[in-house]
Amino acid sequence: MLDKKVAELLNAQINKEFYSAYLYLDFSNYYAEQGLDGFANWYKVQAQEERDHAVLFMQYMQNNGCKVTLDAIDKPDKEFASFSDPLKAGYEHEQYVTGLIHTLYDAASAVKDFRTMQFLDWFVKEQGEEETNAEGLIKKFDLFGSDPRALYMLDSELAARVYSAPSLVL
């Protein structure tokens, strides 16, 4: 059985991951409305990843005999004035999620819950990749976004992203 605080934090993380998916679908919708289908695709794939992260947390809790409670998902409230706004908001959000994962890891470490720490190791690594990807998108946009032809090329590059399910063994 998991420590009560660790279980509460894991359950809260499930809902945070579902919110992340919802947020990225909102970003995807914004870009689709702007005619940037590649950017829309990139965030649609990102939303799929976040949904699967939530399911991984759910499965971990269930495998450890814990009840999962799904809360309401808040409506994303970001307003965008430029194409770069969702990119910056995405990077900030990934930094926030990294903080959540670190808090979870600290809680598991405090009670010597090595199994949960091992489970979270994958998410620690994943968050490093998420932040790198989000920051990379901002850098590419800053370099190329003001040139319509280069923006078209970047959009085409992002359109090629495909979803691949996480390979985490529970």
pLDDT tens by residue, 118-142: 999 999 999 999 999 999 999 999 9
| Residues near 48 by beta carbon (within 8 Å), at least 6 away in sequence | 21, 163
Name the pTM for this structure.
Answer: 0.94
Q: Record the tokens describing residue 70, joined without a space.
A: 């799904």
Predicted pLDDT at 140: 95
Statement: residue 169 has pLDDT above 90? no
Predicted pLDDT at 170: 62
Asked if 130 and 16 touch (Cβ cutoff 8 Å), the reply is: no
pLDDT tens by residue, 96-124: 999 999 999 999 999 999 999 999 999 99
Mean pLDDT, range 60-69, rounded to an integer: 96
**Furthest-apart CA atoms within the chain: distance in Å:** 56
In 3D, which of 79, 80, 85, 96 has the Cα closest to residue 19?
A: 96
Predicted pLDDT at 165: 79
Domain ranges of the chain: 4-72+80-159
- Name the average pLDDT for the chain: 95
Amino acid 15 reads N
Instruction: Report how far residue 16's alpha carbon sits from residue 37's, in angstroms, rounded to the nearest whole number.
Output: 26
- Architecture in CATH of 4-72+80-159: Up-down Bundle (1.20)
Asked if 7 and 68 touch (Cβ cutoff 8 Å), the reply is: no
Asked if 24 and 46 touch (Cβ cutoff 8 Å), the reply is: yes
pLDDT tens by residue, 8-57: 999 999 999 999 999 999 999 999 999 999 999 999 999 999 999 999 99
Predicted pLDDT at 164: 85
